[in-house]
Amino acid sequence: MARTERDDLGREVTLPAEVRRVVSLVPSLTEAIAAIDAGLLVAATQWCTHPVDLDVERVRGTKNPDTRRIAELRPDLVVVNKEENREIDVRRLEDAGVPVWVTVVEDVPSALSSLDRLITVALGHPEPAWLAGAHAQLDGPVLEPEKSALVAIWRDPWMVVGSRTFATDLLARVGVRNVYADHADRYPKQELAELRAADLVILPDEPYVFTATDGPECFDADRVRLVSGRMLTWYGPSLATAVRTLRGQLGLDSDGLA
């Protein structure tokens, strides 16, 4: 028996009583779904790197999914994200009769509520322990900032994390203020010489793969922190430990944190 639910955009999505076949076009959500039941996934993108042993068909990338092949797989549901995936691909899938669930994530609260809705409403599963743990870690008030930081996500040209982003809000809950949190753009381009002053320069390993020999040489060494991009930008099982892990990678004292 079919049922109708509403995704994060409030769009009506017609689903079977039990969703058994899912295609995920969002790396974070691929990991989240696999952590519930990896058997639900029939395909994912080439960028879906977690869990590392996930053995499903790959349907190209987040920006160029093979919509024809996805339709041939006859999934009960395709999971996408408003920021990471293209509207035209959603339209193509729906024109082919494939139900598409659109998620919207702009900060930590919206990530948690989006995961709640996807897991308990769309997939019909109980809240997993890792999501309950994420709520316990992150539902509280934003901390008073201990440090300021800029977060680079690309170089040549340099791009940084700006306003209205999940990473900016997560850092605030770790005790770090993004110096570009008030910028009009979500991911502004900046000249290296014009980057705003900050206590810390955070260099994640994705989307640009900053390493000990690629990126830190452009800044004062004592300000640079190499961090896990998955911990900083993914919304899934990593959220349960993101606060403690990021505070450790940023060199902040974790005393008093759950």
Q: Where are the domains of the chain?
A: 2-127, 147-249
Q: Give the pTM.
A: 0.92
Looking at residue 141, what is its pLDDT?
83
Please state which CATH number belongs to domain 147-249.
3.40.50.1980
The whole-angstrom separation of Cα 92 and Cα 90 is: 6
Quote the strand ranges of the chain, DSSP E: 2-6, 12-16, 22-24, 41-44, 57-58, 77-81, 100-103, 147-154, 158-160, 176-178, 189-190, 200-204, 224-227
Extract the tokens encoding 200. Answer: 């810390």
Looking at residue 81, what is its pLDDT?
98
Looking at residue 114, what is its pLDDT?
98
Fold match between domain 2-127 and domain 147-249: yes
Looking at residue 1, what is its pLDDT?
85
Locus of tokens 């300000």: 223
Phi-psi label, residue 105: left if phi above 0, alpha if psi -120 to 50, beta otherwise:
beta
**Which fold is adopted by the domain 2-127?**
Rossmann fold (3.40.50)
Looking at residue 247, what is its pLDDT?
95
At 230 the three-state DSSP class reads: helix
- pLDDT by residue for the chain (258 residues), tens only, comes to 899 999 999 999 999 999 999 999 999 999 999 999 999 999 999 999 999 999 999 999 999 999 999 999 999 999 999 999 999 999 999 999 999 999 999 999 999 999 999 999 999 999 999 999 999 999 988 889 999 999 999 999 999 999 999 999 999 999 999 999 999 999 999 999 999 999 999 999 999 999 999 999 999 999 999 999 999 999 999 999 999 999 999 999 644 343
Cβ atoms 93, 72 nearer than 8 A: no
Looking at residue 166, what is its pLDDT?
96
